[in-house]
Amino acid sequence: MDHRLETCQKVVEKGIEMLAINLTVGTWGNISCRIPEKDYVAITPSGMSYDTLAPEDIVVMDLRGNTISGTNKPSIELPLHLAIYNARDDVQAIVHTHSPYATALAVARKEVPGAVEDMVQIVGGKVRVSEYALPGTVQLGTNTVKALEGRNAVLLANHGMIGVGRNLDEAFRVCQVVEKSAQIVIFAKLMGGVVELSEEDIAGMRNFYLNGYGQR
């Protein structure tokens, strides 16, 4: 299997998983991944059900927005994905969800504070809220890149959440951890408040995640 087909297959699999674990509903949200050894990205098509997608339905684009392969229209959020890829060489994959707890905070325009250990490890600190812009616009990409600086996740005001990573599995895991953390933060607020971790502790745990966590 060549890199292009392999990447498209992974995008299809994550779309099915995203729907199955309620990180989105219907056809909303989107997923993309860089194709190794090429300045190309594979992105989900606009308005097609995740549970019926095949690798040939995934659209391959270059970083300027030109279609390389695929006959479907790419996700409306292509400008958002390209803005992130062009600004962040470290980002290899992007997952955009509409999960309920993270979106609740996005609607309230409240950040996810750096209070949950696994979240600050994988995200790098608190999850900021980007300034509002309409879906599918270049401005949404610009606002998102700004709020995503130094982080692997961002809340899109009144919209949803973005998780990015060094690979598709990590980007997807970011979305799972942020959704769980958003739920925890909402519950903690109901019980009297959230106690945030210190910047020193956050930096230490982020370093451990990057350099000491897991098998080497």
The set of catalytic residues is 77
Do 119 and 137 contact (CB within 8 A), yes or no? no
Q: Which residues pair with 32 in a beta bridge?
A: 43, 94
Q: Which of 93, 95, 94, 76 is nearest to 140 (CA)?
A: 76
At residue 132, what are phi and psi to the nearest 5 degrees? -70, 140
Q: In whole angstroms, what is the distance from residue 85 CA to residue 33 CA?
A: 10
Q: In whole angstroms, what is the distance from residue 76 CA to residue 3 CA?
A: 24
Q: Within 13 A of 158's CA, how many CA atoms are on the CB side?
A: 6
The three-class DSSP label of residue 198 is coil
